[in-house]
Chain A
Amino acid sequence: MKITVSGEVKEVKDELTIAELIELENVETPQYVSVSVNDEFAKSEDFKTQKLHEGDIVEFLYFMGGGQ
């Protein structure tokens, strides 16, 4: 199936979970990433069970602490 991850369309296996996508995308500090699916926050406790669907739009929101 096709999903959009951070603005890029990607071909992934059906029923991919958010946790699997996090691994696939090599997300840095995966335990601290916020995820939205179709403009709704996914709960981190659901990452392992929440399946993605064809056409889903997934965004990773990263902590970025620097500034000085």
Chain B
Amino acid sequence: MAFSDEQLERYSRHIILKEIGVRGQKKLLNAKVLIIGAGGLGAPAAMYLAAAGVGTIGIADADEVDLSNLQRQIIHATDDVGKPKVESAKETMNKMNPDVTVKTYHEFVSSENILDLIKDYDFIIDGTDNFPAKFLINDACVMAKKPFSHAGIIRFKGQLMTYVPGEGPCYRCVFKNPPPKDAVPTCKQAGVIGAMGGVIGSLQAMEAIKYITGVGELLTGSLLTFDAIKMNFHKVKLPKADCNCAVCGTHPTITKLIDYEQAECDGI
């Protein structure tokens, strides 16, 4: 595949980087990334990946755009209220970069469909807002041997980690099981600074780009936390993958995907 003049110009700031170059840009154009959740995290992640020329971007979300989303979900605009988020996200990405093929999945991700959803993708971004989905994505990616970026944001805080099969702990190694319904507050209950999605979602896009191009160190075996009040990033070195982990351990006890019960206020 040769670059057109337009592509050479569009991606010139990537191509000039010795770590990326023409080769890295080709890898991006051939890559497939799935973003689950077109919200606070998924919006900036999708936009940066589209701008970067990731050739195929899948986006899964069952919701419609709500006015209260627009404080942070920058892929959607005021005119999009009421529209499926995946449609609005697709329109924005198509406008940004015609090189990108956007595939939309206007559905809830569950144990029934997730393995089928992730199977064609090289990297998965967890942009969901609830623990049942976060554990489901982890377990499915471990089972299907897919790398993914986990992240969470709330109030003035955010965190993320990257799972790559065989290269470090999974989300369940660290957090074991979802907390009981309503035990840990969600964004809707607790609030979140809109720009936090921009910070953490962009870092998720950065991890995807680094994974695809093979540049640098990923957040495998580390959890990066960001506290906007103290303006402090802290990289926590995680313990090694837990050989007793219920899903990625040597004798996994979770061999079938689980649909945990969601808190009533989630998924909005």
* Interface secondary structure of A, over-half rule: loop
Whether, in the assembled complex, B179 has its beta carbon less than 8 Å from a beta carbon of chain A, the answer is yes
Whether, in the assembled complex, A49 has its beta carbon less than 8 Å from a beta carbon of chain B, the answer is no
Given contacts A64-B159, A65-B131, A36 and B236 within 8 Å (CB-CB): yes
Which chain B residues numbered 133 to 161 have a C-beta less than 8 Å away from chain A? 134, 151-154, 157-159
B 233-251 binary contact with A (CB < 8 Å = 1; else 0): 0101111101000000000
Nearest to A60 among chain B residues (CB) is B236
Closest 9 CB pairs of A and B: A64-B152, A68-B39, A66-B187, A68-B129, A66-B154, A67-B129, A67-B41, A32-B179, A59-B236
What band does the interface of chain B fall in when counting residues whose beta carbon is under 8 Å from A?
A: 35 or more
B-side interface residues toward A, CB under 8 Å?
Answer: 37, 39-42, 63, 69, 73, 126-131, 134, 151-154, 157-159, 174-176, 179, 183-187, 190, 192, 197, 223, 234, 236-240, 242, 266-268
A-B contact count (CB 8 A): 92
Contact of B40 among A6, A63, A68 (CB under 8 A): A68
Tell me the complex Cα distance, A65–B134, Å: 8
Q: Smallest Cβ distance from A24 to chain B, in angstroms?
A: 18
Contact of B39 among A32, A59, A67 (CB under 8 A): A67
Tell me the complex Cα distance, A31–B183, Å: 9
Nearest to B240 among chain A residues (CB) is A39
A 33-46 binary contact with B (CB < 8 Å = 1; else 0): 01010011100000
The answer to whether A65 and B174 touch across the interface, beta carbons within 8 angstroms, is: no
Whether, in the assembled complex, A29 has its beta carbon less than 8 Å from a beta carbon of chain B, the answer is yes
Q: Smallest Cβ distance from A5 to chain B, in angstroms?
A: 11
Contact of B239 among A6, A40, A62 (CB under 8 A): A40
Contacts of B267 in A (CB 8 A): 68
Contacts of A9 in B (CB 8 A): none
The answer to whether B154 and A34 touch across the interface, beta carbons within 8 angstroms, is: no
